[in-house]
C-alpha cells in the first residue's frame, strides 16, 4: 500500500521547509527508517526518514523546492503497485491560504503593498495548473478572495498577467537567468515546463562554455557565489537585527585559569570506573547558570516596552557546522548537574554535526556561550543572539608571565568577553556579573558545594 512522505513540522513556529536533496531516485528500493531526503528549515538541515518499505514511487517536491508542513513531498509504494496520483493526493490542498504579496505588489506597482491576499485552495490549484500568477489577480470572492472563476477568466482572456509556465520551470528560469519570453513551451497549451528551461540552460552552457569569462566587478574577479538561504540566511538576518535593534557593549576581563585547568584534569584521574571527562564548555555552562541566577538582569529580554527577567536559565552553545553556526540550547541548566550538562552537550553537538538537530533544539535560549579557544583565539567581540541580552565569548587558556605578590611567574590565563544590550544592562551590572563568573573560574571547586 502506498505511503506519503510528509514534510515534517520540526518546530512549533515552522510553517514550511525546503527539500535540499533526495537521497534516492524514483524507482529505488527503500527501507523504513532509512534517510530518504534532506530538508532545510530556516534554522537547520535534517534528514527525513522513509515511512515504509518499498520503492520511491514519486518525488512530488523536487530538490530545491519548498513545501508546507504536513504536505506530501514524496510517495513510497510497494514493488509493482500502481498509484493514481490525483486520487492519492486528493483533498490535500487547504481550503484557504493567505499569501504575503508585499514584494510582488511593489514590483507590479499595485496599491496595497504589505496586504495579505486570500486565495481558495481550489483556485490556487487551478492557477498552478494553468500557469496563472495569483499575485496579478483581483479576487471577486468574499473579502476579495480569489476564487476559481477569477483564475479561469484570466486564463481564457489570455491577458498579459497570464504566465503560461509551471512553477518549477519559473524557479529554474529565475535561478539561471533565463528569459522565458524567448522560450517556446512544449507543455499542454504551449505551457513552458522544466524540460524547456533545462534545454535553454544546456544551450546557453554549450554556447558560452569556451567563450564565457569569469564574472568581474571592477578589477575583482568573482569566484564561487554562495546563495544566502537556510541556516546562513538566519545568521545573516539575526546578526543584522542584533546590531540594528540593540545597543551592544563588550567588556573584557582576564581570569586566572590555573585552578580551572587543575579541576578538569583531576576529575579525569583516579580509578578507571570513576573517571569523569568534562569539557571546558560544560564547566563554563554550569558556572554561567549560577552566575545568571545571581544576576537575573543579564538573563533577560526586551519584550515591546518591558524588560522580562527569565526564571528559566536556558543556555545556548555556539556549534560550528558545515552550513554555518548553530546554537543548540540546554534548557534549565541551573537545575542540572555537571554530568547531565556534559551528556546533553555531547548529544546536541553530535546531532548538530550529523544534521539531526530539530528546530525546537535551537529555541528558548536566554543567554549564549561561544568558545573560540580551540582555534587559538585569545579574545574577540561576540554578537548578542536576539532576543537574548547577553553572550559570553571565551578565548584559549594560554601560559604567560604574570605578576603575583610582586613576583613574575608563569600562569594560565583566559580572556572573557561579555557582550550585552546596554539599554537594559548597565556597564557596572555587566562588570559585576563578569566578576562573579571570574570567581567561579578561579575557584571551580565551589561548584561541588552548591546545589545540583
Q: Residue 200 above 60 pLDDT?
A: yes
pLDDT in tens, 352-387: 888 788 878 888 999 999 999 999 999 999 999 988
Q: Residue 150 above 50 pLDDT?
A: yes
What confidence score (pLDDT) does residue 215 get? 62
Across the strands, what pairs with 338?
none
Of the listed ranges 22-26, 81-85, 129-133, 279-283, the least confidently predicted one is 129-133
Give the pLDDT mean for 381-397. Answer: 95
What confidence score (pLDDT) does residue 24 get? 92
Top pLDDT among 110 and 83 is at: 83
pLDDT in tens, 406-421: 999 999 999 999 999 9
Q: Residue 130 above 70 pLDDT?
A: yes
pLDDT in tens, 13-63: 667 888 989 999 999 999 999 999 988 876 677 889 999 999 999 999 998
Give the pLDDT mean for 201-205. Answer: 74
What confidence score (pLDDT) does residue 188 get? 58
Q: Residue 334 above 90 pLDDT?
A: yes
Q: Residue 176 above 70 pLDDT?
A: yes
DSSP state, 260? Answer: H
pLDDT in tens, 221-270: 777 777 666 666 667 777 777 888 889 999 999 999 999 999 999 888 87
Structure confidence at residue 348 as a pLDDT band (50, 70, 90): very high
| Residue-wise burial string across 228-244, b where 16 or more C-beta atoms lie within 10 A, e elsewhere | eebbeebbeebeeebee
Give the pLDDT mean for 276-300. Answer: 95
Q: Residue 162 above 80 pLDDT?
A: no
Structure confidence at residue 395 as a pLDDT band (50, 70, 90): very high
Closest CA to 173 of 155, 195, 158: 195
Q: Are strands 319-321 and 390-394 parallel, antiparallel or unpaired?
A: unpaired
pLDDT cut 70: percent of the chain above it: 81
Give the pLDDT mean for 125-142. Answer: 71
What confidence score (pLDDT) does residue 396 get? 96
Cα distance from N-terminal residue to C-terminal residue, the chain: 52
Structure confidence at residue 95 as a pLDDT band (50, 70, 90): very low
Highest mean pLDDT among 5-14, 195-204, 226-235: 195-204
Give the pLDDT mean for 63-87. Answer: 88
Of the listed ranges 3-17, 65-79, 251-265, the least confidently predicted one is 3-17
Q: Residue 165 above 60 pLDDT?
A: yes
| Active site amino acids | 422, 426
All domains of the chain in start order, with CATH:
3-88 (2.40.50.100), 96-204 (4.10.320.10), 247-448 (3.30.559.10)
pTM check: above 0.95: no
Structure confidence at residue 212 as a pLDDT band (50, 70, 90): very low
Structure confidence at residue 167 as a pLDDT band (50, 70, 90): low
Phi, psi of 417 (to 5 degrees): -120, 115
Q: What share of the chain is helix, strand, coil (3-state, %, to 5)?
A: 35, 25, 40
Give the pLDDT mean for 322-333. Answer: 86
Alpha helices in 7-147 (DSSP H): 85-88, 102-108, 121-130
Give the number of other CB atoms < 10 A from CB of residue 392: 25
Instruction: In whole angstroms, give the CA distance from residue 409 to residue 282.
Output: 29
Question: Would you tell me the crossing angle of helices 280-294 and 427-442 to the nearest 10 degrees?
Answer: 130
Amino acid at each position: 500500500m502506498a505511503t506519503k512522505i510528509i514534510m515534517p513540522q520540526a518546530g512549533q513556529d515552522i510553517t514550511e521547509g525546503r527539500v535540499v536533496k533526495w537521497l534516492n531516485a524514483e524507482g529505488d528500493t527503500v527501507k523504513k527508517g532509512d534517510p530518504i531526503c534532506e530538508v532545510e528549515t530556516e534554522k537547520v538541515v535534517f534528514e527525513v526518514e522513509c515511512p515504509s518499505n518499498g520503492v520511491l514511487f514519486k518525488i512530488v517536491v523536487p530538490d530545491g523546492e519548498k513545501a508546507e508542513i504536513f504536505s506530501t513531498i514524496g510517495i513510497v509504494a510497494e514493488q509493482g503497485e500502481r498509484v493514481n496520483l490525483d486520487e492519492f493526493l486528493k483533498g490535500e490542498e487547504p481550503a484557504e491560504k493567505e499569501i504575503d504579496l508585499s514584494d510582488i505588489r511593489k514590483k507590479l506597482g499595485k496599491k496595497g503593498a504589505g496586504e495579505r491576499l486570500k486565495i481558495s485552495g481550489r483556485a490556487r490549484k487551478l492557477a498552478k495548473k494553468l500557469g496563472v500568477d495569483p499575485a496579478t489577480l483581483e479576487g471577486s470572492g468574499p473579502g476579495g478572495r480569489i476564487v476559481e472563476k477569477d483564475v479561469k477568466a484570466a486564463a481564457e482572456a489570455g491577458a498579459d498577467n497570464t504566465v503560461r509556465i509551471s512553477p518549477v520551470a519559473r524557479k529554474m528560469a529565475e535561478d539561471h537567468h533565463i528569459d522565458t519570453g524567448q522560450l517556446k513551451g512544449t507543455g499542454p497549451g504551449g505551457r513552458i515546463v522544466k524540460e524547456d528551461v533545462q534545454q535553454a540552460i544546456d544551450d546557453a552552457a554549450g554556447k558560452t562554455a569556451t567563450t564565457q569569462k569569469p564574472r568581474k566587478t571592477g578589477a575583482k574577479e568573482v569566484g564561487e557565489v554562495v546563495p544566502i538561504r537556510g541556516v546562513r540566511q538566519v545568521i545573516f538576518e539575526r546578526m543584522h537585527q542584533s546590531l540594528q535593534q540593540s545597543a551592544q557593549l563588550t567588556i573584557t576581563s582576564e581570569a586566572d585559569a590555573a585552578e580551572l585547568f587543575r579541576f578538569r584534569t583531576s576529575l579525569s584521574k583516579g580509578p578507571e570506573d570513576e573517571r569523569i571527562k568534562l569539557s571546558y564548555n560544560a564547566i563554563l555552562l554550569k558556572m554561567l547558570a549560577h552566575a545568571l541566577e545571581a544576576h537575573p538582569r543579564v538573563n533577560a529580554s526586551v519584550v515591546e516596552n518591558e524588560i522580562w527577567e527569565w526564571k528559566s536559565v536556558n543556555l545556548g552553545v555556539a556549534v560550528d557546522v558545515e552550513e554555518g553556526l548553530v546554537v543548540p540550547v540546554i534548557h534549565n541548566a541551573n537545575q542540572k548537574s555537571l554530568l547531565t550538562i556534559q551528556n546533553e552537550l555531547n548529544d546536541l553537538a553530535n546531532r548538530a554535526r550529523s544534521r539531526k538537530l530539530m528546530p525546537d533544539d535551537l529555541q528558548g535560549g536566554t543567554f549564549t556561550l561561544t568558545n573560540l579557544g580551540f582555534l587559538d583565539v585569545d579574545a574577540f567581540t561576540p554578537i548578542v543572539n536576539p532576543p537574548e541580552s547577553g553572550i559570553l565569548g571565551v578565548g584559549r587558556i594560554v601560559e604567560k608571565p604574570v605578576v603575583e605578590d610582586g613576583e613574575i611567574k608563569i600562569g594560565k590565563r583566559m580572556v572573557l568577553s561579555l557582550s550585552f544590550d546596554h539599554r537594559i544592562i548597565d556597564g557596572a551590572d555587566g562588570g559585576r556579573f563578569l566578576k562573579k563568573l571570574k570567581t567561579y573560574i578561579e575557584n571551580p571547586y565551589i561548584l561541588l558545594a552548591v546545589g545540583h
